[in-house]
Amino acid sequence: MTAVTDLHEGNGHSGPLTKADFQSDQETRWCPGCGDYAVLAAVQQFMPELGIPPERIVFITGIGCAGRFAYYMDTYGMHGIHGRAPAIATGLATAREDLSVWIVSGDGDALAIGGNHLIHALRRNVPVKILLMNNEIYGLTKGQASPTSVVGQVTKSTPFGVADQPFNPLALAIGAEATFVARTLDRDRHHMTDVLRAAAAHEGAALIEIYQNCPVFNDGTFFALTEKETRDANQIRLEAGRPIRFGSGGERGVMMDSGGRLRIVDVAEVGEGALLVHDPGRGDPGLAFALAKLSADVSGPTPIGVFRDVERAVFGRGSAAAGGAASEDQLAELLLGGSTWTVS
C-alpha cells in the first residue's frame, strides 16, 4: 500500500487523506438498496490509497444510473453524454498524463450506445480505469432490456422475454485486445477493493465489470454469487499463481480437458495437480477468454477477480498535447514554409 502523506496541497486541510476527502456535498439519489451505493462507498474508501491528491483525479461518466457517480466524488468530474465517456476520457488522458482518469459506466451505456468507444479505448490501451456496473437492465429509463439481459428475461421492452444473445462483457473486452480485465461484486467490498487496487496499478486501460444489483428492475440477479448461503459454492475466485479452486472447502476446481476446453471438476476426482493454475499475465488471451466464458449464466459457478493483466504500450504517452505549445520561432519557421518570395 502506498504511503499516505499530506496531499491536501493548499486545500486548507492537513493530515492524510481519508474517505471523507472524496465525498462531495451532493446528496446521493439512487434507489434505496441499489448496488451503486456499495460501489461508491468502496471507491471512496479506496481512493486515499492511491496517494494522489483529489484534484488530480477525474471521474468521467456516461448516462444511466451509474452516470451520477461523478457528482458524488469530491474530485474533478464530468457527467458526459450517453456512451461517450470513453471518448471524452481518451481526450483528457491523452492531454493530461498527470491525471488519474476513471470512467463509470453501465451495461447500456458501455455496451449498447457506447460500444464502439469502449472497444477502441481498450484496443488503444488508453490509461483509464473503467468501472462497468452491470445490472443486466436499463434502470434510469425504467426497466428495458440491455445488451447483457439474458435470453428469456422479461422486461418492459421484452414482455415475452429477451430473444437475442447477450454480450459477455469480459469476453468482449478480451476480444477487443484489453490489457486488464477483471470482475467483482457490489456486495463484496473486500474483493472489490483488491480488484480496484490491481486496476490502479495497471499502466493502461483497465476494465472492471461489477455485478451490481438493481433492486427495482432486476432484483437478485447475482444473488447466487453474493449471498451467504450460495456464494461459496458459486464464487470462483481467480488468484494469480494459484490453482483455480472453489467451494467452501475448495473441493471443486477448473481444469482444461484434452479437447482444450475448461471444465469444472471435483478436485477429489482429478487431483489438485490437474487444476489450471491462474496466470493473468499470460500474453495469449485464450485462457482468459475461456474463463470469461466459463459460466453460461450467473446462477451457477462464476469466476471473479483479475482475468487478464498484461503490459502493452500505453496510448498517448509523451503526446504533444501533454507537453507545451510550440515556440514563437518554431511558428515563424512553419509560417514561412518552403518557398517564399518578397514584394517590396
Partner 1 sequence: MSKVVEERERVIIRFAGDSGDGMQLAGSRFTDATAVLGNDLATLPNLPAEIRAPAGTLAGVSAFQIHFASRDILTPGDVPDVLVAMNPAALRANFGELSRGATIIVNEDAFTKRNLEKAGYGDVNPLDDGSLSEFRVHRIPMTTLTTRAVESVEDASTRDAGRAKNLFALGVISWLYGRPTEVIERWITGKFGERPAVAKANLAAFNAGWSFGETTELLSVQYRVAPATDMAPGTYRNITGTTALTLGLLAASVRSRVPMLFASYPITPASEILHELSRRGRHGISTVQAEDEIAAAGIALGASFGGRIGVTATSGPGMDLKAETIGLAVMLELPLVVIDVQRAGPSTGMPTKTEQSDLLLALYGRHGESPLPVIAPSTPGDCFDAAFEAVSLAIRYRTPVILLSDGFLATSSEPWRVPSVADLPAIDPNFAVAPEGEEGWQFEPYSRDERLVRPWAIPGTPGLAHRIGGLEKSDRTGHISYDPKNHARMTELRAAKIAGIADELPPLRVDGDSDASVLVLGWGSSYGAILGGARRVRLRGEKVAIAHLRHLNPLPANIGDVLRSFDRVVVPELNSGQLAQLLRARFLVDVESFTKIEGQPLWAPEVERLILGDVEQAATSTNGGGAR
- Pick one of 7, 22, 36, 191: the residue that binds ligand SF4 (CB under 6 A): 36
* 3 forms part of the interface with partner 1 (CB under 8 A): no
Question: For residue 169, what is the enclosing H or E element?
Answer: helix 169-175
Q: Which three cell numbers stand for residue 196?
A: 480496484
Give the x/- contact pattern for ligand SF4 in 156-195, rule: CB under 6 A: ----------------------------------------
Return the biggest CA–CA distance within the chain. Answer: 95
**Minimum Å distance from CB 168 to partner 1?**
21
- Pick one of 30, 59, 69, 211: the residue that binds ligand SF4 (CB under 6 A): 30
- Pick one of 53, 175, 215, 300: the residue that binds ligand SF4 (CB under 6 A): 215
* 139 forms part of the interface with ligand SF4 (CB under 6 A): yes
Strand partners, 131: 104, 208
Q: Are 99 and 93 in contact (CB under 8 A)?
A: yes
* 217 forms part of the interface with ligand SF4 (CB under 6 A): yes
State the Cα angle at 252 between 248 and 255, rounded to 5°: 150
User: What is residue 263's three-state secondary structure?
Assistant: strand
* Closest CB to partner 1 among residues 31, 331: 331
**Strand ranges inside 107-204, DSSP E:** 128-134, 180-185
- Pick one of 39, 50, 88, 137: the residue that binds partner 1 (CB under 8 A): 88
Give the x/- contact pattern for partner 1 in 108-147, rule: CB under 8 A: --------xx--x---------------------------
* Closest CB to ligand SF4 among residues 214, 276: 214
- Pick one of 1, 3, 10, 249: the residue that binds partner 1 (CB under 8 A): 10
> Cβ contacts of residue 24 below 8 Å, gap of 6+?
71, 72, 73, 74
User: Which of 241, 244, 268 is CA-nearest to residue 254?
Assistant: 244
> Cβ contacts of residue 9 below 8 Å, gap of 6+?
53, 55
* Closest CB to ligand SF4 among residues 99, 103: 103
* 34 forms part of the interface with ligand SF4 (CB under 6 A): yes
DSSP annotation of 98: T
Q: CA neighbours within 13 Å on the CB side: how many for 222?
A: 28
Could you tell me the CA-to-CA distances from 183 to 130, 193, 207, 275, 329 in Å, in that order?
11, 12, 8, 21, 51
**Minimum Å distance from CB 288 to partner 1?**
23
Give the x/- contact pattern for partner 1 in 19-38, rule: CB under 8 A: -----x-x------------
* 58 forms part of the interface with partner 1 (CB under 8 A): yes
Q: Are 195 and 137 in contact (CB under 8 A)?
A: no
226 binds, among partner 1, ligand SF4, none (CB under 5 to 8 A by kind): none
Give the x/- contact pattern for partner 1 in 313-332, rule: CB under 8 A: ---x--xxxxxxxxxx-xxx
Could you tell me the CA-to-CA distances from 36 to 40, 64, 111, 324, 343 in Å, in that order?
6, 11, 18, 39, 69
- Pick one of 214, 224, 244, 298: the residue that binds ligand SF4 (CB under 6 A): 214
Q: Which three cell numbers stand for residue 250?
A: 475448495
**Residue ranges binding partner 1 (CB under 8 A):** 8-12, 24, 26, 53-58, 60-61, 63, 70-71, 73-81, 84, 87-96, 98-99, 116-117, 120, 316, 319-328, 330-332, 334-344
